[in-house]
Amino acid sequence: MAKDLQLSFSDKEITPWGGMALMSRMLQKIGFREALGEVDLPKQGSNRGYPPEQLIEQFLVSVWCGANRFEHMEVTRHDEVIRKIFDCKTMAGHKAFQRYFMEYTTGFLSSCILTTSHWIWIQR
């Protein structure tokens, strides 16, 4: 037996990634941005550069939404609802991530992984 399906129109913005609101709340609850602020992340050299915390968070969001190449990050970059959910004034393009991740060294990644994994395990 089929149920009646109610359809209606809305003037609100929509996105196929509306579930990211839950991920945003989780990151806020565990203090993810603050924890990233305690790690000595490479800083942007340009005055137009994005905060490292935003780049890391935006990278995670894009991966959670299915990006598996830097170019795929453009999909979430242009999604206004995602931008608002994660409280970003603007979203970085894929080239910004390529330039930023070039600054990472193997030694830095090792120490960063140790620091963040310890932080993750002590969260409740």
Is 73 part of a structural domain of the chain? yes
Q: In 3D, which of 72, 71, 34 has the Cα closest to residue 56?
A: 34
Digit-coded pLDDT (tens) for 1-54: 456 767 677 787 777 887 888 899 989 988 888 888 888 888 877 777 889 899
Q: How many domains does the chain have?
A: 1
Is 2 part of a structural domain of the chain? no
Residue-number span of the structural domain to which 52 is assigned: 20-41+48-122
Q: Answer yes or no: is pLDDT of 81 > 70.
A: yes
Express as a percent the part of the chain with pLDDT over 70.
95
Is 53 part of a structural domain of the chain? yes
pLDDT at 91: 94
Is 7 part of a structural domain of the chain? no
Distance CA 78, CA 16 (A): 13
Is 5 part of a structural domain of the chain? no
Is 88 part of a structural domain of the chain? yes
Region 84-113: mean pLDDT is 87
Is 1 part of a structural domain of the chain? no
Q: In 3D, which of 36, 9, 11 has the Cα closest to residue 119?
A: 36
